[in-house]
Amino acid sequence: MKTREQITVNRVAGALGAEVGGVDLAELSDAAVEEVRAAFLEHQVLFFREQNLTRDQHKAFGRRFGKLHIHPFEQQLKHEGHPEIIVFKSDEHKPFVAGVWHTDATFLADPPISSILRCIVAPEFGGDTMWASMYAAYDALSDRMQRMLSDLVAIHDTGRAFGVAAYRKEDISGENGLRMVSAEHPVVRTHPETGRKALYVNFHFTSSIKGMHADESAALLQFLFRHLQSPDFSCRFRWRAGSVAMWDNRCTQHRAVGDNLTAPRHLERVAILADT
């Protein structure tokens, strides 16, 4: 048990996740920011309740941890002065949640290291979000499998998620200006701050493993995608208006649960870039 003076931290599951109390994210002291940062590195995803942040306060909280990322395609609030905020809004007219396991924007060479999602409207039930620890998923593999994966590199692209597989990066623009974007990342990633190894492939964006035949790559990825979905590696969060989740994209994946798609649900996200 670590001594913390500013915040309380209570774990919510065995693999990852902790609820943080005793803080107002709109007015964090430098000491509290350091404690939140330490808890974030330890627990991989943090949850905060009853934070009624404005959009500016949401962005200001994110900026305590680094520069904010601007998504290449999704900037719904660009004309309102918030290009950094992505809106996830669904209801009976737009029944949708991000219901596929993924890590945010891994089709970029430098994806955001952290994402911070706040809830403005929550369904009465359902629409939870789940996170999975890619440390735990990696640790559960056999030594042999860990060794085999250790020097593999995977291709991540926007083809499956955004449906623009036909376009190459330097090629013509697709509908709505979308185009194929891709990046390469190691299949096993060493976290730069904790030094721990994490599995780093995800169903939404990882399309193949470099240097393998297509059927070998597909079989290995299918195994890994199934492996990382084990409930043993996961935690689950029930949203309420005012809830905030902050997670580490370097060692986790997440997905929403599509069990009440027609209920009004409104969340907004900012993401943080590595300071390079």
DSSP assignment string, the chain: ----SS-EEEE-SSSS-EEEES--TTS--HHHHHHHHHHHHHHSEEEE-S----HHHHHHHHHTSSPBP--SS--TTGGGT-TTPEEEEEBTTB-----S-B-TTTTSSS--SEEEEEEEE--SS---EEEEEHHHHHHTS-HHHHHHHTT-EEEEESHHHHS-TT--TTS---GGG----EEEEESEEE-TTT--EEE---TTTEEEETTS-HHHHHHHHHHHHHHTT-GGGEEEE---TT-EEEEETTTEEEEE--S-TTS-EEEEEEEE----
Residues 42-81 that bind Fe ion (CB under 5 A): none
Q: Interacting stretch for Fe ion, rule CB under 5 A, among 10-18, 57-65, 98-106, 142-150?
A: 98-106
**Which is closer to Fe ion, CB of 33 or CB of 70?**
70
**Which is closer to Fe ion, CB of 23 or CB of 123?**
123
The nearest distance, CB 150 to Fe ion, in angstroms, is 27
Active site residues: 102, 104, 254, 269
**Which is closer to Fe ion, CB of 35 or CB of 104?**
104
Per-residue binding string, Fe ion, 101-130, x by CB under 5 A, is ---x--------------------------
**Which is closer to Fe ion, CB of 104 or CB of 157?**
104
The nearest distance, CB 30 to Fe ion, in angstroms, is 29
The nearest distance, CB 269 to Fe ion, in angstroms, is 7
The nearest distance, CB 104 to Fe ion, in angstroms, is 5
Count of residues in contact with Fe ion, rule CB under 5 A: 1
- Please report, as ranges, the residues that interact with Fe ion according to CB under 5 A: 104
